[in-house]
Amino acid sequence: MKRIFLFVATNFAIMIVLGIVLSILMPMLGLDQSSYSGLLFMCAIFGMGGSFISLLMSKWIAKRSVGAHVIESPNSAEQRWLLETVRRQAQQAGIGMPEVAIYDSPEINAFATGANRNNALVAVSSGLLRNMTQDEAEAVLGHEISHVANGDMVTLTLIQGVLNTFVYFFARVVANVVNRGSNNAMVYFMTVMAFQVIFGMLASIIVMWFSRYREFRADSGGAMLAGKEKMIAALQRLQGNQMESQLDGKLTAFGINGKRAMAQLFMSHPPLAKRIAALQNA
């Protein structure tokens, strides 16, 4: 869950910065805001470009945002078990061996991220290792490996890139209509930024819907890699845990446990009860 929230937040920040750059470059390149074909082309470059920059930076950002320590040479039975379990599941899923890391946090959580299926990172919290049985932890690792094998990060990037493009585009189209007849560049710029934030929030609803959908797929994948009963037990353990995810940004969406939201539309993960029921009825 952590990884998705971090991805979305980082993308949103990049989108705002690139939106400002786009607003500066458009007049410098001689592209009029009313020239919609040229505007759409520039928005596509910045929208897709920002999303892929976020994807390429995802592992680097993830490691530093949680202080993850990558296991190079295991120095305990627990670390050896962790590496061997990830290696076995990666082989079963047909992906390259991910980097495996532990980060210090009391929460029960884990996440996976990376630009492609053969260059990923799987990280688990110290709280997960302390509070879950090996069977439960194995299921969580299977869930994260399934995210990688399903190519969720790349798919999310493509969706986010397309949405970013239209956020940039429609923010400027609407601002152009609202400020028609006005030559105040600062008012126009502030209007663009305001609509960019509004449309960006609406776009995040679509991103969160996809995030919730792919959680069910990852749970199913975890059940295949570790066993259905182990996956259900892991989710039930999370259900009994009252601590909210401490992951930030995109990472939230790619963790096993997510943040609570005021509205279900903005939740990166489905309610745990629904996830457990989906596995029980599978």
69 has which bridge partners? 102
Candidates 100, 47, 92; CA nearest to 69 is 100
DSSP state of 266: G
> CA dist 256 to 33, 54, 63, 230, 233, Å?
43, 21, 17, 14, 13
Candidates 249, 269, 268; CA nearest to 63 is 249
Rounded CA separation 252/54 (Å): 15
Angle subtended at Cα 162 by Cα 266 and Cα 160, rounded to the nearest 5 degrees: 40
Q: Kindly write down the DSSP assignment for every residue of 38-77, as one continuous string.
A: HHHHHHHHHHHHHHHHHHHTHHHHHHHHHT-EE-SS--SH
* Catalytically annotated residue among 144, 215, 229, 244: 144
Candidates 127, 134, 118, 157; CA nearest to 66 is 127
Rounded CA separation 213/155 (Å): 12
Rounded CA separation 53/10 (Å): 10
Q: State the burial class of residue 19 (Cβ atoms within 10 Å of its Cβ: 0-12, 13-18, 19+).
A: buried
Place of tokens 């688990």: 124
Asked if 144 is an active-site residue, the reply is: yes
Rounded CA separation 266/259 (Å): 10
The residues annotated with a catalytic role in the active site are: 144
